[in-house]
Structure 1
Amino acid sequence: MSNFNYPLSALAIAISAVFTISSQSVRAEQTVEKEEPNSKLEVIAITGSRIMRRDEAEGSPIQSFDRDQLDIKGALSIGEFLQELPSVGASLNDNGSAGTSHGTASINLRNLGENRSLILVNGNRWVNGAGSRGFRDFVDLNTIPFAIIDQIEVLQDGATAIYGADAIAGVVNIHTIKNYDGAQVKAYYGISGENDRETRNFDLLLGHDFNDHNLMFSASYSNQEPVYTQDRSLTAVPLNGLPLGSSEGLFRESKLEGLFDFSVPSIGITRDPGSDGNSLNSWRAASSNDRFNRYHDNYVVGPNERLSLFGQATFQLPDTQVFEGTSIRFELLHNIRKSDQQFSAAVPVITGSRGFVIANDSRVNPFGIEFSGSDFGLRNFFTDNGLRVNEQKVETTRVGVGLEGFLPLGWQWDAFASWAENKGTFTSKNQLHLDKLALGMRACNSSGIVADISDLSSGCVPVNLFNPLTSAMVNYINFTGIDENKTEQQHFRFNLTNAIAELPAGDVLLAIGAEYRKENGVDIPDNIINAKPRVNQYRTTSSSPRTGTVGEYDLYEAYIELNIPLLENSAFGEALELNLASRLSDYSTFGSTTNSKVGILYRPITDFMLRATWSEGFRAPSLLELYEGERAAFAPVIDPCDINKGLPGCSSVPANYRQQDSNVPILVGGNKLLEPETSENISTGFVYTPAGLDGFSVTTDWYRIKIDNTISAFGPQNLLDLCAFNGRNCNVISRTANGELLNIVDGPVNLNSTEVSGVDTVVRYTFISDFGEWDLSSSVSKLNALEEVSSLADGSRLSVNKKGSSGVRESYPEFKGSVSAQWAYDNWSAAYSLRYIGDTNEIYLNAPRHIGSMFYHNLSTGYKSDSGLGWRMGINNLFDKQPPISLVNVNINFDQQTYNAVGRFLYFQLTYDF
């Protein structure tokens, strides 16, 4: 067990001094007449602080978005909305089949990764995602119903001392609708300019007050259809080239020489479409022109279907001598998400070295020769056994109970307890059972096979891969795998807040609290996929085997937060406040850690406010990072040794080697030796609100976040480049004798450090004129640096500044921004928004390649009648912009976690309140 303690002398002295003052103040308060209950209720909660305040002074940079702003965007999920914020980096979304999303939506604040951005709902933790090949170590935003959201606050500052781990990059606090009285139905329909991505959504919201009590129910259904690669010119054909092969197959074997009146080339023989493979006259010499687009009928944007049910009951409890204004709230949520990815039919790579045999039987072999015991190769792009489809079904269940109220002497308290579970099923359809295929290629002859294969031989069908597959063959060799995984969270917290002392500048405010959290996860892979092969020597199925994952941890936490007013209406300024916070966390996996925060808010004049914060951050390795079982997968890469055999790390690669497929095998898994991450967050900024221009404000904040012991993976492409160009870390790369990439081992390690810095500026102006109400705003984020310093296997250090760069599913432009204008007059409204993504450079074959900037324009207008009927229609991506071309994002041709290839999208929304 490790012990992480930081110097806290300054904070300890300040807290001690305040409590010395407060001991006298509390005794004095006992003689003061008790405040009226109404005055106690005039307090607000601000994200980034547990202290309940009577003003809205914000010592940390926060962006807030209400429900009207969400609806104007035409979004149907939290992810769609948040991922367009300038301060958010590349995030998981519905784009692509070959990505890692599997229907998940995430948020990546400050480009520091999904698991360093904390997601809260009403200030409470949310359960991590599931439904992938293994569970997640971050919140899946698609498990939070969009229909129940009232407001979203984004804290762009470290908040470990306030909320605990995972808040290194910032916090997203989602506020749900409360105490709703009425009824609302909403219908939404949208479609792209290419007549795809058809989207339907229906919401129902019911609420009723019963004296001081309230009941609320919400139901929502959303269904979004896919976009196919061939329906966008950008993605129709991979720019890195089509893989060698055909649906008729490429067959290479030295024994074929002499069977034909032509010389058999090294890549083998093939036949023309529609020809009879049982006739030797149909076969011809294959060439480098025999290519197959295996990415046809893949998704550019995947489908997503969600059903959400949410119930909430709030009851006001009778007052007692001790408890006043106490209310209890019950929450119950059930959310179902379905998504899928579609791929080409399974591609069996059949070689003698993998234990495959093609019997000398006319039912399976037209050549009259048995092929066995040699390195023959048969590569087919099937079109007969159906496209592979990976389906996810994720069910989220959450039960929560909250209590809040007042105690004597003005103390306000609240408590919340929840249990939540994400249960995912991952179904892999139309995979191949390679043992059945191997037995069928042997014409169902089991001679020489030692293992018991009675389950395989029953119903065996001879399989001829030199002609189209029959339905009987398909039914025999096709396989459906089912994986199951689950994440579970138990959470309890208690907060107590009050003014504990009175200083000349105002009240000293205190918040203290305790929290308990338990996280566990389990991943159960399909037992057939993981079974040892009995007929071939490669795998039992075409799905990637992996070992399961089981892990859990719990932690106990306590925190204290103080807000100390130092000046008010003095000669030195209008106001000066000091905010102090510290949190002690005790992990079952890593021991204890203490993390603190200091904030200063200074208002020299009424119109101008300065703010600064310093904070420590902490993130323990997640269950996946620690315990994830080894998993075989594929990753798209460009092999530098394919182009230049003279590179330092390519000396063992044969001169005639050519990369045949951009998708190469990788092996990833957890690392139980990981240590926690620690961070230091510093931010400074100002808020300018001129009294002479009511409704106008400018906020600018500079930030720097430095993470030590960063948990990260190099990535397959980086590992290949490091080996090829620098001769480093080549030990994790395996190749066959002919140079083919056999495996790349990549997994989480504690890299040395990561540092990100930048500036955020938000300008907003709201005013009323003779022509209506206006809300104008602009937000710009500038990335000053994103530097990663890594220790390599040879002991050297590698420093990379990613600012202005882009890579595989990641982009780091120096500038990102947005502009919006909203107008309302009587019953009419309209809105315009602009999104800007700055230019970057990607490294393609060790040389920079420029990617230009992008502008997206959105328009909408609406009308709300006095009878409660309203409509809104809009166009997103007005000028039908497609993502910029990327050559390192092979096969899909663009960075699918930064850009969207839907193009122009039109939507219409109808709402009725009654």
Structure 2
Amino acid sequence: MNVRKPRLSIIALSILLGLNNSVFAQESTSAAEHGQNHEDAPERVQVTGSRIKRSSDSPSPVQDISLKDLNQKGVVSLGEILQELPSVGASLNGNGSAGTSHGSSSLNLRSLGENRSLILVNGHRWVNGAGTRGFRDFVDLNTIPKAIVKRVEVLQDGATAIYGADAIAGVMNIYTHDEYVGAEISTYYGETSHGDKETLNLDMLWGNDIGDANVLFSMSYSDSEPVYTQARELTAVPLNGLSSGTPEGLFREANLASVLDFEIPTLGITRNAGQDGSDLDSWRAATSGDTYNRYDNNYVVGPQELFSTYLQAIIPFDSTEMRVEALYNRRESDQQFSPVLSVVRGSRGFSIPNNPLVNPFGVEFSGSDFQHTSFITENDYRVNAQVVETLRFGVGLEGEVDLGDFWSWDAFLSVASNKGEFTSYNQLHLDKLALGLQACDASAFDVDVGSLAQGCVPINLFNPLSDEVIDYINFTGRDENEAKQLDFTANISGVLFELPAGEVALAAGIEYRREEGVDTPDSTINDAPLLNTYRTTSSSPRYGTDGSYNLKEAYVELAIPLLREVTMAEYLELSVATRYSDYSTFGSTTNSKAGIQYKPVQDVSLRATWAEGFRAPSILELYEGERFTFSAVIDPCSGNNSSVGCAGVPASYVQPDSNVQLRTGGNRLLQPETSENISYGIVYEPASIDGFSITLDWFDIEIDNSITTVGAQSILDTCANTGRACDSITRDGSGEILEIIDGPINLNSLKVAGVDSVIRYTDSFWQGDWDFSLTISKLSTYEETSVLSDGSTVVDDKLGQARSREAYPEWRSSFSTRYERGPMTLAYSLRHIGDTTETFQGEELHIRTTVYHNINAVYEFDEQWTWTVGVNNIGDKQPPTSRTNANINFDQNTYNAIGRFMYTKVSYRF
């Protein structure tokens, strides 16, 4: 019979064997306390990176994060904790508004991209996330409630042969509580020293043995308030400059020269604030100082509300054990943007007649020279809101069968969906605006205005817009998208035969998986405009996505002991694995892995692995409907038409706004990415120093045929500097960028190399237990090779560089120490992000090293009450300033501008 074991016994055994390279303290529970029989054979356990239950070390580096470490961080989001690991690069989080996570939280191992890191829960795949403007092709960590998590294992090695696609950079395996008996209620509150980001969290965890079965139920609720740009000096004003235009508006129209008695500059005219636009004396020549801070009152950190329930049952039978998992998770989040920027231009089919209801000047505004620049503040701030619901149900069986030796087997089926509803408030209906500008005169158009005339109100742009006008032109868009997953796995593991050095173990299995994605954008937004030539609404149109694929896989893994307890070979083991995958989209592929574990003496363990990997194109990359968005860029042709790609751009052209329209979409011709991972390391755990260990692991990863989008800024720079890729850029006669086209292609290759070092020491002194851990990640290579349009290649060395929303520092590290004495625990931790260099308008700028310090204290009053207090970022450290990260002034995927955050937590167990 297969006897259930607590997961933490795995970690305890791994530490004793010198395998685990965790930087954190770990809990251990004796398996004997739960009935495990050790009399016949050494206990075999399974760790992330291998399907074989073994009693020996594994050649792959695995890092463990215990429950104490998860609770020590003083945050309520699982993503916030895991993103601080030194091996994790720039990841999506709650920072910012425009072009960011839209409420999602991602994990970017080795800085190789979120969709090259595999997320597992209890060893099984999790459904991909939902996101504004289309679903995700990676797991959203906000769909996994922190309250159900007992510990996390991080495999920092390629594992395609073991787990399948996406495990190029590594694997994050999240384990939920099991064998839990008791109940606990926790309340948490925190806020910054600036008085914002107020965060409330309530958790309830209950478990009990019912007969031989164990049932676990969890419920969680959290609510976090935003941080606004004006609340931090760093983000109050964009370093790349304010936007042209004011709430009073800038108007350009050649006919104005005949009715105004002052010279009209290129910028046009504007109204003095607070004056009546019907009086021509209230108008003056516009200047370069007529600007608007469109990023005022945006979010530095967005608000979020989460609610989740989780039910788990482990039910033993005579020789089999059933596991049932059911989860419901709901996320509400939103982002706040500037009021809509007017798109009223003659070139886009808008005009204002000579009608005193809508125009005090007595001349018509029309033609290509007519332009209105203004932020429609009367329509309030735009808000994109998300409601994302995650449903997952899983059922599995596991047991043992006597085949001469006891072989363990398991099978698991999961069905999951992530459904998102997205609402964009305070947009404009541009066709209604066009009709209102004509004083609701339907005869001004050559088409039937239809229902647009219902409720029409004449619109006078030359004075503040009335509530009646806003009610008429205000538009709310609604999108929906959903990601679905069905996954079935079956595995068997056991001993084939015995060699002099030990048992030859095997694991084998099959997997069937189906992924689906549906994205349904708002139909009105996608409608062709009727009364203007630009868009129907101010929201960006896009086509929907509807795609799916399935795959069938089979794998086999072997662990072969070669030597044991001989001279200069305490132990030597070879492990090999291979996986065959058959995809409905591109065909079949086979990927293999080999590893070696060598202990020349008891205190030293050497390990090395070689692994092939691949990542199949996601539904999003294959089938995403064409969509339009905006990207903040710096136009190299602004004020400079001497570059080869800027020929034809007027010399007088100055970029009016950093945000430009970007058009993207899927590519059904994409092929899988392939990779080769090589790692080798050493573990030193001297018997003479109890509780001390040090590990060094080198890694080298090469990805070929990588799927990439060039990026709006790269397209602009390539065009300006080389004359290539210019056909992806559309400009108007003034030189202003109208659109940039970018989409995924198999174009580049990527090489990443570095070393991880972990030093850990545990001891008891000063009448307490101490735990010290230091982890250092050194990035030595990060090179992306791009193929240019003429077939030549160029190598982009990103090592030590800072780019838009991503940074590649050579050094990242963390240090923590924890002191436990009786009912009291005191903890300190440090997070270090090394310096980088960014290039801004040809000048190299230094981005300083950033270090965060955190403290935490826990006191258990009795067996029931526990009180926790802590301060994160006790020095109130703000992110380093960045000019390439336009508008927000810092890299929001690497740092955060929350500042000092103080929290307290009270838990009651019964």
1:45-194 matched pairs, under 5 angstroms: 45-55=46-56, 57-194=57-194
Show the counterpart of 2:432. 436
Alignment correspondent of 1:455: 451
What are the Cα deviations for residues 141-179 of structure 1, in whole angstroms up to 9, with x where unaligned? 000011000000110000000000000000000000012
After the TM superposition, which residues 814-893 of structure 1 pair with which residues of structure 2 at under 5 Å, given as runs?
814-893=810-889
Task: Give the structure 2 partner of residue 330 of structure 1.
Answer: 324
2:632 aligned to 612, 633, 636, which one? Answer: 636
Once the two structures are TM-superposed, the CA of residue 43 in structure 1 deviates from its matched residue by 3.0
Name the CA distance, whole Å, in 2 between partners of 1:572 and 1:765. Answer: 27
Aligned-residue offset at 1:694? 1.2
Q: Is the 8 A contact 2:610 2:677 kept in 1?
A: yes
The total of aligned residue pairs comes to: 873
Whole-Å separation in 2 of the counterparts to 1:793 and 1:107: 32
| TM-score of the two chains, using structure 2 as the length reference | 0.95
Is the aligned partner of 1:901 residue 2:897?
yes
Alignment of 1:676 with 2:672, yes or no, is yes
Letter in 2 for 1:394: V
| 8 Å Cα contact 2:639/2:653 also seen in 1 | no
Paired amino acid for 2:52: I
Deviation at 1:847? 2.4
Larger deviation: 571-580 or 602-611? 571-580
In the TM superposition, 1:391-406 aligns within 5 A as 391-406=385-400
Q: Which runs of 5+ in 1 are unaligned?
A: 1-34
The within-5 A match list for 1:586-601 is 586-601=582-597
Residue 409 (structure 2) pairs with residue 408 (structure 1): no
Tell me which moved more, 880-889 or 791-800.
Answer: 791-800
**What's 1:481 paired with?**
477
Q: How far is 1:593 from its partner?
A: 0.5
Q: Distance in 2 between matches of 1:279 and 1:353?
A: 27
> Are the equivalent residues in 2 in contact too, given 1:131–1:425 (CA < 8 A)?
no
Counterpart for residue 355 of structure 2: 361
Q: 1:832-891 deviations in whole A, cap 9, x for unaligned?
A: 011110111111112211111111100111101223200111010010010001001111
Mind listing any 5+ residue stretches in structure 2 that lack a counterpart? 1-35
Give the Cα–Cα distance (whole angstroms) in 1 for the partners of residues 45 and 132 of structure 2.
Answer: 39
In structure 1, what is the Cα distance between the partners aligned to 2:491 and 2:640? Answer: 62
Q: Deviations over 1:655-710 (max 9, x none)?
A: 10000100011111111111111100000000000001111111110000001101
Secondary structure at the counterpart of residue 147 of structure 2: helix
Deviations 1:49-81 (A, max 9, x none): 0011235x2311111001111101112111101
Structure 1 residue aligned with 2:533: 537
Whether the 8 Å contact between 2:701 and 2:752 is mirrored in structure 1 is yes
Distance in 2 between residues matched to 1:562 and 1:570, nearest whole Å: 23
Does the 8 A contact of 1:805 with 1:841 survive in 2?
yes
The CA distance in 1 between the partners of 2:556 and 2:687, in whole Å, is 35
CA distance in 1, matches of 2:420, 2:780: 39
Q: CA deviation at 1:373?
A: 3.4
Asked if structure 2 preserves the Cα contact closer than 8 Å seen for 1:253 and 1:377, the reply is yes
Q: Which residue of 2 aligns with 1:16?
A: none
Paired position in structure 2 for 1:18: none
Match of 1:306 in 2: 306
Are the counterparts in 2 of residues 90 and 811 from structure 1 also a CA contact under 8 Å? yes
CA pair 41-462 structure 1, distance change in 2 beyond 3 A: farther
Q: Tell me if the contact between 1:131 and 1:484 (Cα under 8 Å) persists in the aligned partners.
A: no
Retained in 2: the 8 A contact 1:52–1:497? yes
1:27 paired residue number: none
Partner of 2:637: helix, strand, or coil? helix
2:502 maps to 1:503: no
Distance 1:903 1:231 in 2: 11
Aligned residue in 1 for 2:683: 687
Structure 1 contact 198–224 (Cα < 8 Å) conserved: yes
**Residue 289 (structure 1) shift:** 0.8
Distance 2:863 2:611 in 1: 51
Question: Equivalents in 1 of 2:184, 2:64: separation in Å?
Answer: 24
Task: Find the counterpart in structure 1 of residue 258 from structure 2.
Answer: 258
Task: Please list, as runs of the form range in 1=range in 2, the aligned pairs for 1:751-830 lying within 5 A after superposition.
Answer: 751-830=747-826
- Superposed displacement of residue 224, structure 1: 0.8
CA contact (8 A) 2:203 2:220 kept: yes
> Is the CA contact (8 Å cut-off) linking 2:229 and 2:296 kept in structure 1?
yes
Q: Which moved more, 1:400-409 or 1:549-558?
A: 400-409
Identity %: 58
Shift of 1:535: 0.5
Superposition CA RMSD, Å: 1.2
Shift of 1:36: 6.8
Q: Distance in 1 between matches of 2:448 and 2:262?
A: 43
Pairing partner for 2:717 from 707, 718, 721: 721
Q: Does 1:552 align with 2:548?
A: yes
SS in 1 for 2:431: helix
CA displacement 1:253-279 (0-9 Å, x = unmatched): 000003122111111000121111111
| Higher mean displacement: 451-460 or 702-711 | 451-460
1:378 aligns with 2:378: no
Partner-residue secondary structure (3-state), 1:130: coil
What do residues 114-165 of structure 1 show as CA deviations (whole Å, max 9, x unaligned)? 0000000000000000132100000000000110000001100000000000
Distance in 2 between residues matched to 1:54 and 1:831, nearest whole Å: 33
With 700-709 and 368-377 compared, the bigger mean Cα shift is at 368-377
Report the Cα distance in structure 2 between the residues aligned to 1:40 and 1:633, rounded to whole angstroms. Answer: 61
- How far apart, in 1, do the equivalents of 2:557 and 2:231 lie? 55
Cα pair 1:131 1:393 within 8 Å, conserved: no
Looking at structure 2, the residues matched to 502 and 477 of structure 1 have their Cα atoms a distance apart, in angstroms, of 79
Shift of 1:640: 1.1
SS class of match (1:717): helix
Residue type of the partner of 1:99?
A: G
Distance in 2 of aligned mates of 1:144 and 1:912: 23
Contact 2:614 2:674 in 1 (8 A): yes
Paired with 1:150 and 1:53, the residues of 2 have a C-alpha distance of 22
| Residue 734 of structure 1, CA deviation | 1.3
Distance in 1 between residues matched to 2:289 and 2:551, nearest whole Å: 60
Matches within 5 A, 1:549-628: 549-628=545-624
Correspondence 1:516-527 to 2 at 5 A: 516-527=512-523
SS at 2:714 equivalent? helix
Q: Is the 8 A contact 2:278 2:462 kept in 1?
A: yes
Give the letter aligned to residue 566 of structure 1.
L
Counterpart of 1:710 (choices 701, 706, 731) is 706
Alpha-carbon distance between aligned partners in 2 of 1:580 and 1:481, rounded to the nearest angstrom: 53
Q: Structure 1 residue 770: deviation in Å?
A: 3.8
SS in 1 for 2:563: strand
1:119–1:172: 8 Å Cα contact kept in structure 2?
yes
Q: Is the contact made by 2:639 and 2:651 (CA closer than 8 Å) also made in structure 1?
A: no
SS at match of 2:107: coil
Name the structure 2 match of 1:732. 728
Deviation at 1:752, TM superposition (A): 3.1
* Residue identity in the other structure for 2:220: S
Residue number among 420, 423, 445 corresponding to 2:419 in the alignment: 423
Closer, same or farther in 2 for the Cα pair 1:172/1:407, shift >3 Å?
same
**Does the 8 Å CA contact 2:43/2:55 hold for their aligned counterparts?**
yes
Q: Which stretch of structure 1 is more off in the superposition, 889-898 or 768-777? A: 768-777
Give 1:40 deviation, angstroms: 7.9
Contact kept? 2:691, 2:762, Cα under 8 Å: yes
Q: Which residue of 1 aligns with 2:31?
A: none
CA deviations on 1:180-210 (whole Å, 9 max, x unpaired) are: 1100000110000100000000000011102
Deviation (angstroms), 1:37: 9.6
Native 8 Å contact 1:611 1:684 kept in 2: yes
1:341 corresponds in structure 2 to: 335
The residue type paired with residue 213 of structure 1 is: A
Q: 1:365 Cα deviation (Å)?
A: 0.9
Corresponding residue number in structure 2 for 1:195: 195
Task: Report the Cα distance in structure 2 between the residues aligned to 1:83 and 1:374, rounded to whole angstroms.
Answer: 50
Paired residue secondary structure (1:710): strand
Q: Which amino acid aligns with 2:80?
A: E
The amino acid across from 1:292 in the alignment is Y
2:493–2:508: 8 Å Cα contact kept in structure 1? yes
CA contact (8 A) 1:659 1:740 kept: yes
Whether the aligned pair in 2 keeps the contact of 1:811 and 1:898 (CA below 8 Å) is yes
Per-residue deviation, 1:721? 1.0
